[in-house]
Amino acid sequence: MKVKYLLTMILALTIFAVSAENLKTANDLIGTWKYTVSNVPPEYETGFMTFEQKDDKTSGYLGQQERMEMKELTVDQGKVTFKLDFQGGILTVTMTQDGDKLTGTIVSQDGEFPITATKEPAK
């Protein structure tokens, strides 16, 4: 009986720890990030992306004046994915979060491009 109780407690603690880590990662994402994309025209090389939390849902957009909404945004265990409507096509962005850094790729009809981002200090 003690073994079953001990195993149940270990399982419960593991589930709690994994849930807390997922919540921490999603909350750590909230804010403004400065990004850099390689191998693209200069006007698309750098910019800002912002992630917000509203009604227990994470949303985001690129740009500060002209905002492009992130579609199908998912955040799961440090992996961030979303799509953008861009000049008549779809960009698929996949990034991995490591603290205050995001790294990944943007896939478009023109190819695959590396992207990195660094979280801006909170104001």
CA angle 25, 28, 118 (to 5 degrees): 115
Domain count for the chain, please give it.
1
3-class DSSP state for residue 56?
A: coil
Q: What is the CATH number of the domain that holds 97?
A: 2.40.128.20
Q: Which domain holds residue 60?
A: 2-119
pTM of this structure: 0.74
The tens digit of pLDDT for each residue in 14-71 reads 554 444 444 444 568 999 999 999 999 898 899 999 999 988 899 999 988 888 999 9
- 67: number of Cβ within 10 Å: 13
Q: Which pLDDT score, from 0 to 100, does residue 13 have? A: 43
pLDDT over threshold 80, residue 80? yes
